[in-house]
Amino acid sequence: MPIISAPQEFNEEDLYVDLDTALSIPLYLKCEGFNFTGSVKQKAALAMVEAAEQSGLLRPGSVLVESSSGNLGVALSVIAASRGYRFVCVTDSRCNLASKRLMEAFGTTVHTVTEPAAEGGYLAARLAYVRALCAADSRYLWLNQYTNEANWRAHHRHTAPAIARSIPDLDVLFVGAGTTGTLMGCARWFKEHRPVVRIVAVDSVGSVAFGHPPAPRMIPGLGAGVRPPLLDEGYLDDVVLVPEGDTVRMCHRLAARGFLFGGSTGTVVSGADRWLAEHGGATVATAVAIAPDLGERYLDTVYHANWVQDIYGSGTLGLDEAFPPGIPTPAQAGIPGQG
């Protein structure tokens, strides 16, 4: 019986979904959303806070500050509340409302950047605001997930070895690319201990992380407007780019089978599905993808039909898909207000 005294002491490492049974995709999905912060970011958040404490940079009276699109901000909010620190999260207008409310519930001050920078987009604008805060008051301590070695080391220490223990015959691992902390921690560990495992990075179309041109992105989590400093492509075997429309469709495919996952998971599974199809998925011994979070924080975006239609167009999710064959849609039934 697990007994904990702080929320960050619990993290579920051994839960996988067999997507071959659910969606006919030969893939095990490692579920990272079953902890008190709700995402894989709990590991990096805790590692960065502990490293700052051990170094003496984080002291009583310090105010933590970090740029986040959502999940890391929630994780740091939980840990800051647990340890008695004040925390300021700098996010942008793409951050889910649910994530903002969660952070505020833990006492975090949330600052939302509403205008992207001319170069580097929202991320560059968020970083500029963080730098300005730190320059104005020495009490602010920026953990800087984008360059902090503790970010990737957390996954080198915990995530990758846990996968290796659970899936000893692993052939290929799919990991989403944001700050690339999870990606690089896992990639480094497997190249050191099991170099035969192929590491495939999954990124969003519009992200510049791997040298592709920038484009608008609306789903927080994966992707970057600035090349991630932690990224070392020498540890990777392949990269897959996923359009956000495919992300949304995959999220809804999963939900239709009873699995509500976040946008990053939809991206990773969509990319893995395509890669496996192109590389003879049936011949791959065992494939695993990391699901960073669950889907409750995306109910107003990815899982909201009006939001999807406004952003990606009516063809992304056909209304008819929500109704079994032979059952008329509201529009077909003549219900007023349905188009």
* pLDDT per residue as tens digits for the range 94-151: 899 999 999 999 999 999 999 989 888 898 999 999 999 999 999 999 999 999 999 9
CA 273 to chain centroid, in Å, comes to: 18
Sign of dihedral through CA atoms 168, 170, 175, 181?
positive
User: pLDDT tens across 164-208, in order?
Assistant: 999 999 999 999 999 999 999 999 999 999 999 999 999 999 999
According to the CATH classification, is domain 7-31+156-297 in 3.40.50.720?
Answer: no
On the question of a common fold for 7-31+156-297 and 41-142, the answer reads: yes
- Domain ranges for the chain: 7-31+156-297, 41-142
pLDDT at 322 over 80: no
Picking from 269, 182, 273, the residue whose alpha carbon sits closest to that of residue 230 is 182
What letter would DSSP give residue 279?
T
Q: Tell the CATH topology of 41-142.
A: Rossmann fold (3.40.50)
Q: How confident is the model at residue 317 (pLDDT cuts 50, 70, 90)?
A: confident
Picking from 71, 61, 74, the residue whose alpha carbon sits closest to that of residue 102 is 74
Q: Greater confidence, 333 or 27?
A: 27
Please state, rounded to an integer, the average pLDDT across all residues of the chain.
92
Q: What does the pLDDT read at residue 72?
A: 96
pLDDT at 320 over 50: no
Distances (CA, A) of 102 to 38, 111, 128: 11, 14, 24
Picking from 203, 216, 215, 218, the residue whose alpha carbon sits closest to that of residue 95 is 218
Q: What does the pLDDT read at residue 326?
A: 57
pLDDT at 80 over 50: yes
Q: Which residues contact 244 (CB under 8 A, 6 or more apart)?
A: 204, 205, 206, 217, 218, 219, 267, 311, 312
